Structure formats: C-alpha cells, structure tokens
Amino acid sequence: MFWAERDNLDMPLSLGVKYGQLGIPGGMQLNEAAAAQWKAALEAAGFTLVTVFAAYEGEDYTNMATVAGSVGFIPPATRTVRLARTLEISDFAAQLGVGSIACHVGFVPEDPQQPDYVAVRQMVRDVCDHAAKHGQTFALETGQEPAGVFLEFIRDVDRANLRINFDPANLILYGTDEPIKALERLAPLVVSVHCKDGDPPAAGVPGALGLERQLGKGSVGIGRFVETLRKIGFRGPLNVEREAEDQETRIHDLAEGVRLLRSLAAA
C-alpha cells in the first residue's frame, strides 16, 4: 500500500514490488491530467494496481474518539463531500483501468434503525452502484467493527459488488476481534488484504488504540494469517501496509515486510 504524493511509484519500485494498492490523500486533485500521468507511469513501470484507496480530508486516527468522529462515512457533516469524493475516486480508478476501490467506512452503529446506520447504508449503496457502472468492486476495510457486525451490515447493504479489504492488524488495534477467526468468517467477501501487524491497546488507557508494528513483530501471527489466506483460496496480492509517522521507519519496515512475505511464500 503506497500513497500518491507521499510515496508515488518510486517507493514500491525501490522495494522490488510490481503490484499494490494506491492510496489517494483527501486533498489531492483528481482530474484527467493526473489520471493520464498515473496511467503512463504505471504502464512504463509494468506495475499492476489492484486497488485505489480513498482517504478523506479531516480523518484523524489518533484514538477511538477521533476515529469515531472523523473517519469514513460516519460523520454526518462530511457525507455529501465524501460521497462525491468517493465517486470521483471510482472514476479516477476507472481511468487507470483498476477494478476495485476501497475505504474505511468508520464505526458503523450496530442498530439498523439508527439514523447514522441508515444514512451510511444508503451512501455505501450509492458508491456500489456507481462503481458497478465501471465494473468495479467497492471494498470496505475491516477494523472498526467485529466480523459479525460487519457481515450483517454488508448483507444489509445488499450489493453484489460490495467486498472487504481485510486488514488483520486493525482488528487488534481496535480490540474488535480475533483476526484469523474473522478472516475465516469473512472469507467469501475478501477481495484484497493488508498485511499489517500490531499490538492491542494498552490496558488502563480508555479510548486508546493499539500500536502498529513492523510485519511479523506484532500480535497478528503473520505466518498463520498467510496460511489462512491460502486455505480460504485467496489468490490476490499480499499488500504490506505500514503507516508509521516517520518515513524512514516506514520504508524500513515495509522492506522487511516484503522480505518476510517472500520467505513465507517460498516456504
């Protein structure tokens, strides 16, 4: 997983990687010129983009409260803008010939009668219907909901192209579920994965998130995760994700993550 503007294509290429997911920062201008530039760069490098990932302006992943108040489709005041932005991301991905878009939907309420639930369900349907016109899947990332709640919501949205971007670390960072069991349960809907690691929130710090770690150094059990992906018949690419604040740590950890996955794949 690499970001436009922050990494560009040079970063994955420097790690010897030729496929991945492109994250689009909330403030980035999307227009035909940008799409044409990306398309040419991808083709020149022989790079396969599997997903275009939407992030939104104003998202804050500091702790549970900031996530609940700022991430994805949940904050009511952002919905109109973020829906338009997500459709724009879908169009941009289509211009690049990419068949899947994704985002974090945020903390979906458990109660299907709740007004935020109803509004977010409609928003996800609108994105799915738009993406379907481009032949794309729309994937929601795991993490903020336990597998059962997530699955219920997806069934309730009821769109054939709605899928899951499975991130095992998020389930640990948010303390929502056990990643391997969740993966087995969500398997038929998983269209893409993040290979990310982390440890649970520290005890006694209310509202804190866990700590993201270098792949293989956290609590996910990456060996077992990769093995389970194989077992469920997942054939897509293993996208390493590391969102450390400083770029040096991040690149170092991504390189180690790529190395680890290659050794697991060879085993």
Output 15 or 193, the one with its CB closest to Mg ion. 193
Distance CA 29, CA 34 (A): 8
Shortest reach from residue 128's CB to Mg ion, in Å:
20
Shortest reach from residue 227's CB to Mg ion, in Å:
20
Instruction: Provide the 3-class DSSP secondary structure of residue 211.
Output: strand
Shortest reach from residue 86's CB to Mg ion, in Å:
17
Shortest reach from residue 37's CB to Mg ion, in Å:
26
User: How does strand 100-103 pair with strand 137-141?
Assistant: parallel
Residue 75, class by beta-carbon neighbours within 10 Å (0-12 exposed, 13-18 middle, 19+ buried)? middle
Which x/- pattern over 108-147 shows residues binding Mg ion (rule: CB under 5 A)?
----------------------------------------
Q: Which stretch binds Mg ion (CB under 5 A): 89-97, 111-119, 161-169, 257-265?
A: 161-169
Q: Which stretch binds Mg ion (CB under 5 A): 38-46, 59-67, 235-243, 257-265?
A: 235-243
Output 95 or 104, the one with its CB closest to Mg ion. 104
Shortest reach from residue 2's CB to Mg ion, in Å:
12
- How many residues can be counted in the chain? 267
176: left (phi over 0), alpha (psi -120 to 50) or beta: alpha
Output 95 or 194, the one with its CB closest to Mg ion. 194
Helices 222-231, 247-266: axis angle to 10 degrees equals 50
Q: Which residue from 62, 61, 78, 59 is spatially nearest to 70, judged by alpha carbons?
A: 59
Question: Does the protein bind Mg ion through residue 197 (CB under 5 A)?
Answer: no
Output 82 or 95, the one with its CB closest to Mg ion. 82
Q: How many CA atoms lie within 13 A of 164 on its CB side?
A: 24
Number of residues this chain uses to bind Mg ion (CB under 5 A): 3
| Residue 222 Cα distances to 85, 141, 142, 206, 229, angstroms | 33, 18, 16, 27, 10
Q: Which stretch binds Mg ion (CB under 5 A): 108-116, 132-140, 187-195, 245-253?
A: 187-195
Question: Does the protein bind Mg ion through residue 167 (CB under 5 A)?
Answer: yes
Instruction: Name which position in 82, 121, 163, 194 contacts Mg ion (CB under 5 A).
Output: 194
| Residue 30 Cα distances to 26, 95, 99, 141, angstroms | 10, 11, 18, 22
Shortest reach from residue 143's CB to Mg ion, in Å:
7
Output 59 or 241, the one with its CB closest to Mg ion. 241
DSSP per-residue letters across 96-141 = TT--EEEE------S-TTSHHHHHHHHHHHHHHHHHHHTT-EEEEE
Q: Which stretch binds Mg ion (CB under 5 A): 31-39, 94-102, 154-162, 237-245?
A: 237-245
Question: Does the protein bind Mg ion through residue 59 (CB under 5 A)?
Answer: no
Q: Which residues bind Mg ion (CB under 5 A)?
A: 167, 194, 241
